[in-house]
C-alpha cells in the first residue's frame, strides 16, 4: 500500500485561472449582447496585439511565464509526492498514516524521563528527533530517546525501518 497525495493544489490553481478567463470572456460577451459598453474594448485589444511583434519584451515575458507555469504544473502532476500511507511489514496490505506514525513516535520520545519538548521530522528512511530538556547533564538521554523510539518502531513494524537520529538540547546551560 503506497497511497500518494492527490494533486488538488495544482488542479485548483489551474481551474481558478481558467475560470477567471472564462468569467471575463462571458461578461464581455453578455455586455455586447445587451448593447452595453464592454469592460474591455475588443478593437483596442486587437490593435495592441496586432502592433506587438514576437521579438519584443512583453510577448517574451508572457511566453516565458506561461512556459514556467505550465512546466511547474506538469512536474506537479508527474513527480510522486510523499506517501500519505506508509506500508507495514507482513503479508497483508496494511499501512499507517504519516501523521499518526509521527505522533506515535513523538509520544514515545516525550515519555522518556526528563524530556520537556520534542520536534520530530519523518523522512523516507530517517527519523530526526530534537528533544529539549531542563537537565544540566544530558549524558545518556539521547540513547534513552533512541531506544524508546526504536521500541515503538518495533511495535509498529514498518516495511522499511528508519534510521533514528537524536539531538538533545538543554534549555538551561550548566553553571
What is the reported pTM? 0.62
The CATH classification of domain 85-170, taken from the options 3.40.50.2300, 3.40.47.10, 3.30.70.1380, 3.30.300.30: 3.30.300.30
Q: Where in the chain is the domain with CATH 3.30.300.30?
A: 85-170
> Residue 37's pLDDT is what?
87
Q: Residue 117 contacts by C-beta under 8 Å, 6 or more apart in sequence? A: 110, 131, 132
Specify whether the CB–CB gap between 98 and 84 falls below 8 A: yes
Chain-centroid distance, C-alpha 124: 14
Residue 126 confidence (pLDDT): 92
CA 97 – CA 107 distance, rounded (Å): 15
Residue 117: count other Cβ atoms within 10 Å of its Cβ: 14
* Nearby residues of 98 by Cβ (< 8 Å), 6 or more positions away: 82, 83, 84, 85, 86, 122
Q: Which parts of 55-112 are beta strand (E)? A: 85-87, 95-97
The segments of the chain whose pLDDT lies below 50 read 175
Residue 131: per-residue pLDDT: 93
Q: What is the pLDDT of residue 49?
A: 85
Amino acid at each position: 500500500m503506497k497511497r500518494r497525495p492527490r494533486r488538488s493544489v495544482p488542479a485548483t490553481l489551474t481551474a481558478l485561472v481558467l475560470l477567471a478567463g472564462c468569467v471575463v470572456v462571458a461578461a464581455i460577451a453578455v455586455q455586447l449582447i445587451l448593447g452595453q459598453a464592454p469592460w474591455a474594448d475588443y478593437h483596442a485589444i486587437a490593435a495592441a496585439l496586432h502592433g506587438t511583434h514576437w521579438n519584443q519584451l512583453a510577448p517574451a515575458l508572457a511566453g516565458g511565464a506561461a512556459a514556467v507555469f505550465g512546466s511547474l504544473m506538469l512536474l506537479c502532476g508527474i513527480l510522486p509526492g510523499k506517501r500519505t500511507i506508509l506500508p507495514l511489514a507482513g503479508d497483508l496490505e496494511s499501512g499507517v498514516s504519516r501523521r499518526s506514525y509521527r505522533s506515535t513516535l513523538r509520544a514515545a520520545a516525550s515519555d522518556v524521563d526528563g524530556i520537556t519538548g520534542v520536534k520530530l521530522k519523518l523522512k523516507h528512511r530517517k527519523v530526526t528527533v530534537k528533544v529539549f530538556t531542563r537537565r544540566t547533564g544530558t549524558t545518556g538521554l539521547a540513547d534513552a530517546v533512541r531506544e524508546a523510539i526504536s521500541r515503538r518502531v518495533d511495535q509498529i513494524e514498518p516495511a522499511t525501518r528508519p534510521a533514528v537520529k537524536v539531538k538533545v538540547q538543554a534549555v538551561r546551560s550548566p553553571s
